[in-house]
Structure 1
Amino acid sequence: MAKNERFKTVYSQGTVDVTQILVDTETGVNYVFRKVANAGGITLLLDKDGKPVISPIENS
């Protein structure tokens, strides 16, 4: 990962129908990205209580 990349892909599934989990490297907030054919969208990844999932930030 380049030092200036804000988002890191931590999970990816599929090639045409794509599901990915991205982590904001500055805040640790997780997002779900979904793409099917020419349409796609992104939203926060929430836990069972409806709160955003936040990963520990790696200091590298």
Structure 2
Amino acid sequence: YNMDNTIDGLYIAPAFMDKLVVHITKNYLSLPSVKIPLILGIWGGKGQGKSFQCELVFAKMGIR
């Protein structure tokens, strides 16, 4: 993967992308002694791009 912070000319906030990628990756790792939360809370007001940024990160990672 090319993990720069753009996709199709759209910018993804680096801190947002890092947190989401780490959360998804940790949930797929087998770490018996470490408890990883299943849910990641994403806070922000209506229309601030929470879902849109998630969709961009998922597309960047190849997640459908």
TM-score per shorter chain, which class?
under 0.3
Structure-2-length-normalised TM-score: 0.26
Structure-1-length-normalised TM-score: 0.27
Higher relative contact order (CA 8 A, sep 6+): 2
Which protein has the bigger strand share? 1
